[in-house]
Structure 1
């Protein structure tokens, strides 16, 4: 489903959901990057 469909179906709520999804994805990616850096730093 495209972004336009979501916006048309849910209005402001769909927009908020999209922002929340974006923040969650960013948080997950950031956590993964930090985990990689820590893993390489602690590696023998």
Structure 2
């Protein structure tokens, strides 16, 4: 395998990892926002 091909494959793998991290962070933010909305609409405990 040439150095150029190895560098391209490494860049593709890195980009895929960044996409995975971004999706995970987005999902976590959505869950947090949903939990906050539920907490705001829930009746206060007596």
Q: TM-score, normalised by structure 1?
A: 0.74
Runs of 4+ deviating beyond 2 Å:
none
Unpaired stretches in structure 2, ≥5 consecutive residues: 40-46
Aligned pair count? 35
User: What do you get for the CA RMSD once the two structures are aligned?
Assistant: 0.6
Matched residue, 1:32: 25
Distance apart, 1:42 and its partner CA: 1.1
Q: Which has the larger radius of gyration?
A: 2
User: 1:9-20 counterparts in 2 under 5 A?
Assistant: 10-20=3-13
